[in-house]
Structure 1
Amino acid sequence: MFFASDNAGPAHPKVMEALVAANNGYAMGYGADPIMDEVRAQVRDIFEAPEAAVYLIINGTAANSVLLASMTKPWETIFCTQCAHIHEDECNAPEFYTQAKLTLVPTTDGKMTSDDLRQTILGEENRGVHGPQRGPLSITQVTEKGTVYTLDEIRALASTAQDFGMQTHLDGARFANALVALDCSPAEMTWKAGIDTVSFGGTKNGALGVEACVIFNPEIAWEFELRRKRGGHLLSKHRYLSAQMQAYLADGLWLDMARSANARCAQLAEGLRKHDAVNMLFEPQANMIFFEMPRRAHKRMLDAGAVYYVMNGDPETGDPDTPLVGRLVCDWSMTEEGVSRFVDLLNG
């Protein structure tokens, strides 16, 4: 039972089969492979955006960083939450690629509000040549706390950004999990809500390693291509990215995997709520749970074996009654039996 991260789960067999099939013979490199033509059409169809520019990159940090660099000038600042992945988990890669700074917006349950965004933008002011200029807004969906922005919340945030002449980027590493949680269309969660660019994740949801960078603002597409190449993220044997994304999108596989991960998370949350020692820190809305329970309970779980998840302290050392925060993430391959086993261990 491995709940540490959806990055740790296996790639779906259909994705692996597609890679094997793509390995036959020869294909032009750098995105000129015929599979990429099909992927571009698939993504445009899914997003109801026939003019969207679509590019593939191998991981989420690069996708976020190159997209933001294409939207940001070095003298600007990017607005994001205090717990955004681009702030906490990307080793300053967005700052490296953009040469800009990040300005952090306070959150409640991992989400910023349009009012807090507006106040943060105004608080940063615009001091002419002496201060950072207003760059794009970046929204993380699903948030790093496992919560999901509603469509109204996304629209309000993007509208606030537009009031200040700012574009909006969506970090969608768990895009599919958010989409099935909201039961909406990709278009509704993106360009129809005012989003300009999307990091459309595949890696956390059953791919081996591929993210689609979807650009609804055609003015920045060429700059993205140049920055992707200059940043070392244009793969020569690109067909192996294309094959993954093609299989990922075919016949709704990406949605099926997200539904499975979310369902297992809901099952897990139900089991946790029944335990008196467990305190849920946020309402889990997709495939990730943050919870708190005494150190002794964490230790007992880990000692029982076959359980792995992330926590914020040492289960072996310290006051056994001290509460520690744990994070549980369900990927597409997690089974009902695996979740039940975890809950049974918790109940002793």
Structure 2
Amino acid sequence: MFFASDNWAGAHRAINERLLRESTRFAAAYGTSELDRAVEARFNEIFEREVSVFFVATGTAANSLALASVARPGGVVFCHSEAHVIEDECGAPDFFSGMRMVPVEGPLGKMNMKNLEARMVRYPQDAVHHGRAAAITMTQATEVGSVYTLDEIAAIAQMARAHALPLHMDGARFANALVALDATPAEMTWRRGVDILSFGGTKNGCWCAEAIVFFNPEMARELPFIRKRTAQLFSKSRFIAAQFEAYLKDGLWLDLATHANAMADRLRDGLSGSNSARLAWPTQSNEVFAIVPIDTMKNAHEKGAKFYDWLEPRDMSEPAGEGEMLIRLVTSFATTADDVDAFLAVIG
């Protein structure tokens, strides 16, 4: 019963097998191999246009380097107040970009448009003392399991355009959001105005595979130097490419995300009928948040269930009561129906 994080899951067999095959041959280094080039071309196919792709090892690196590529002196980046870039990356985006993350409040992990506008007007381009607006970053799926609709993405992109700012999307759980919306990669990104994407594979069956995708290759001119200077240019980058080759082949990545989301649906359905626990808020991806009695939580841990207790969001409409607490449950490609049912049986 492993629900602590999709990072706890291993790597999918097809990805492991592809890595094994790659380990027996020689190939050009530093991203110049035929495999690297072939996978970069595959990204063009997936997004239905020419893109520039840069492989990195972690989601934090992807976010930090993507934002560094659009950095302005004195720049600020607008993000949700509970976004990973501001809460869980140890200041790495600030460190590598030289910019500050400015929090924007909003329900269910999504930036409220009025709040975003109010924040942005405080940082005009001539505000030497306060700093100036430089970019907007949004998380899809969000840190609380919700998903921006296509119209919501377009609305944020329109605001970014109105202020001549680039829009970055943190897609650590990109595939989970994509299948939740039943959209295409193009529809959820550049066709809605996204400029740069952190494309995550690690949480969805890869071993260590993330990519920075630029939908306008002209915007990527500095990234090769930024990536090298930040120690993210791997000599054997083809091992990241090999993971992506298997991940993207025959829609495996979407199948894995569909399964993870389906297991989360099973959890949501079970919690809705629980006598002891209840859903904290609606989610659409592979993250589920529930309010449970503390004694029930302890019993579940003793029975072998792995999950985290969670800090309540600032705008949580119905906080946990006395003797209760909020927990987070995350499903993955490796979660089984038996895992879900066993957990639901434990909590009652």
TM-score, normalization by structure 2: 0.95
Amino acid at match of 1:129: V
Corresponding residue of 1:130: 129
Q: Secondary structure at the match of 1:136?
A: strand
- Output the CA distance in 2 between the equivalents of 1:124 and 1:25: 52
Worse-matched range after superposition: 273-282 or 170-179 = 273-282
Corresponding residue of 1:316: none
Indicate conservation of the 8 Å contact 2:277/2:347, yes or no: no
Shift of 1:73: 1.6
Q: Secondary structure at the match of 2:291?
A: strand
Shift of 1:160: 0.6
Alignment partner of 1:207 is 2:206 = yes
Alignment partner of 1:220 is 2:224 = no
Shift of 1:321: 5.1
Corresponding residue of 2:309: 311
Cα displacement string for residues 35-91 of structure 1 (whole angstroms, at most 9, x for unaligned residues): 111111111100111x21011111100001001100122311000000101011100
Corresponding residue of 2:88: 89
Corresponding residue of 1:54: 53
Corresponding residue of 1:13: 13
Corresponding residue of 1:317: none
Indicate conservation of the 8 Å contact 1:203/1:210, yes or no: yes
Indicate conservation of the 8 Å contact 2:83/2:143, yes or no: yes
- Output the CA distance in 2 between the equivalents of 1:203 and 1:74: 32
Q: Secondary structure at the match of 1:220?
A: helix
Corresponding residue of 1:334: 335
Cα displacement string for residues 321-346 of structure 1 (whole angstroms, at most 9, x for unaligned residues): 52111000001010011111111111
Q: Secondary structure at the match of 1:259?
A: helix
Q: Secondary structure at the match of 1:128?
A: coil
Q: Secondary structure at the match of 2:295?
A: helix
Q: Unaligned regions of 5+ residues in structure 2, if any?
A: 312-320
What is the Cα-based RMSD across aligned positions, in Å?
1.3
Once the two structures are superposed, the pairs formed by residues 1-348 of structure 1 within 5 Å of their partners are 1-49=1-49, 51-303=50-302, 305-312=303-310, 322-347=323-348
Cα displacement string for residues 269-318 of structure 1 (whole angstroms, at most 9, x for unaligned residues): 10011113323222120100111111111112112x221100148xxxxx
Amino acid at match of 2:97: T
Q: Secondary structure at the match of 1:189?
A: coil
- Output the CA distance in 2 between the equivalents of 1:141 and 1:292: 24
Q: Secondary structure at the match of 1:130?
A: coil
Amino acid at match of 1:178: A
Q: Secondary structure at the match of 1:25?
A: coil
Shift of 1:195: 0.3
Shift of 1:124: 3.7
Shift of 1:179: 0.1
Segments of 4+ in structure 1 off by > 4 A? Answer: none
Shift of 1:33: 1.2
Cα displacement string for residues 103-156 of structure 1 (whole angstroms, at most 9, x for unaligned residues): 110010111132221121123445532221111100000100000000000000
- Output the CA distance in 2 between the equivalents of 1:328 and 1:186: 26
Q: Secondary structure at the match of 2:198?
A: strand
Indicate conservation of the 8 Å contact 1:36/1:242, yes or no: yes
Amino acid at match of 1:334: T
Percent of aligned pairs sharing the same letter: 41
- Output the CA distance in 2 between the equivalents of 1:302 and 1:155: 42
Amino acid at match of 2:324: P
Amino acid at match of 2:146: T
Q: Unaligned regions of 5+ residues in structure 1, if any?
A: 314-319
Amino acid at match of 2:132: Q
- Output the CA distance in 2 between the equivalents of 1:130 and 1:91: 25
- Output the CA distance in 2 between the equivalents of 1:117 and 1:160: 9
- Output the CA distance in 2 between the equivalents of 1:150 and 1:160: 16
Indicate conservation of the 8 Å contact 1:74/1:98, yes or no: no
